[in-house]
């Protein structure tokens, strides 16, 4: 039976690969979903799924069922990657004699440009919070920090007060795989954070949370969650009636796009984003419509 090895696999990821808690939750969810599918197919319990059920045909049928549910190719590819990683672990531990899904191909990915905001839209979003309100001061600091540092939402909510160095204007981020990196602290983000720490954060602190280390706090005095950040952004997007869907990652896309359009080199942007591979950063080398039009007007002989 293979289901029992999931916990051992996750322990391996946490200790040997320094996988984050978010990654572990994602892997566990993907593997439970796969075993639930096999259990339904064989009309048995997950714990009773035999090794023989982990084969090429069943995995292909599972992927097809995910597609029928309307899942994106990217999501299906991620779930297959989780399963492949689990099977490689089982082979390495001699639990499986060989890899039964080695020939399963990854779904062809849709090539989509990352969504981003134009400078005017980004400026409107940053200015949207009411700085006369405690929540507005906090939200402005959140938006300025998220955009100014190009960070992931998980990195933002993981920030502690002592991760911000105002003397040298940088923020220490805890990225994927527990890797640390430094993000610059721009003047706008600096001012917004100082205002938040002086006027807003003390009002969010509760008597039983006086020793709270988290930088950004919720109304209960605890650390804000990733979902809370998404809700905050959605609130201002709705107020501004922006036509596109905006997520915390949209601000990260905008950060990278603005840097590249401003002349930053790809390697520097890679470092700022915390990407391991340059190819991951290259998706941001698209140009805005205005930039394309400007280049066309300047360079094309038939403009």
Q: Do residues 252 and 150 make contact, with C-beta atoms less than 8 angstroms apart? A: yes
Query: CB atoms < 10 A from the CB of 54, how many?
Result: 21
Locus of tokens 């039976």: 1
Cα-based distances in Å from 99 to 20, 55, 63, 215: 26, 9, 18, 45
Which run of H or E residues covers position 76? Answer: helix 73-92
Return phi, psi of residue 172, to 5°. Answer: -90, 120
Locus of tokens 């941001």: 284
Q: Do residues 82 and 26 make contact, with C-beta atoms less than 8 angstroms apart? A: yes
Residues annotated catalytic, as ranges: 152, 176, 249, 252, 275, 284
Considering only CA atoms, which of 148, 150, 172 is closest in space to residue 160? Answer: 172
Cα-based distances in Å from 168 to 149, 160, 180, 186: 15, 17, 17, 11
**Helical spans, DSSP H, in 96-171:** 119-127, 134-149, 153-157
Alpha-carbon radius of gyration of the chain: 23
Query: Cα separation of 85 and 16, whole Å?
Result: 13
Task: Give the contacts of 301 (CB within 8 A, at least 6 positions apart).
Answer: none
Task: Look up residue 160 and give its DSSP letter.
Answer: B
């Amino acid at each position: 039976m293979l289901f029992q090895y999931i916990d051992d696999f996750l322990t391996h990821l946490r200790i040997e690969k320094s996988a984050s808690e978010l990654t572990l939750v994602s892997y566990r969810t993907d593997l439970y979903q796969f075993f639930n599918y096999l259990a339904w197919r064989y009309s048995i319990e997950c714990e009773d799924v035999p090794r023989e059920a982990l084969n090429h045909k069943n995995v292909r049928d599972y992927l097809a069922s995910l597609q029928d549910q309307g899942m994106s190719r990217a999501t299906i590819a991620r779930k297959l990657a989780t399963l492949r990683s689990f099977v490689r672990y089982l082979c390495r531990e001699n639990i499986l004699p060989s890899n039964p899904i080695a020939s399963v191909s990854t779904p062809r990915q849709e090539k989509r440009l990352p969504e981003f905001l134009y400078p005017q839209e980004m400026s409107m979003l940053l200015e949207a919070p009411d700085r006369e309100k405690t929540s507005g001061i906090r939200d402005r600091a959140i938006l300025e920090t998220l955009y100014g540092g190009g960070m992931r939402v998980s990195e933002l909510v993981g920030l502690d007060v002592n991760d911000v160095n105002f003397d040298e204007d940088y923020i220490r981020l805890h990225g994927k795989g527990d890797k640390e990196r430094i993000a610059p602290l721009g003047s706008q983000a600096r001012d917004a954070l100082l205002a938040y720490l002086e006027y807003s954060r003390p009002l969010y602190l509760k008597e039983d949370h006086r020793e709270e280390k988290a930088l950004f706090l919720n109304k209960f005095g605890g650390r804000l969650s990733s979902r809370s950040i998404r809700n905050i952004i959605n609130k201002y997007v709705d107020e501004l009636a922006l036509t596109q869907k905006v997520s915390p990652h949209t601000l990260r896309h905008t950060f990278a796009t603005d840097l590249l359009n401003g002349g930053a080199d790809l390697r520097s942007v890679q470092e700022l984003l915390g990407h391991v591979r340059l190819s991951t950063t290259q998706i941001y080398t698209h140009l805005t419509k205005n930039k394309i039009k400007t280049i066309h007007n300047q360079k094309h002989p038939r403009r």
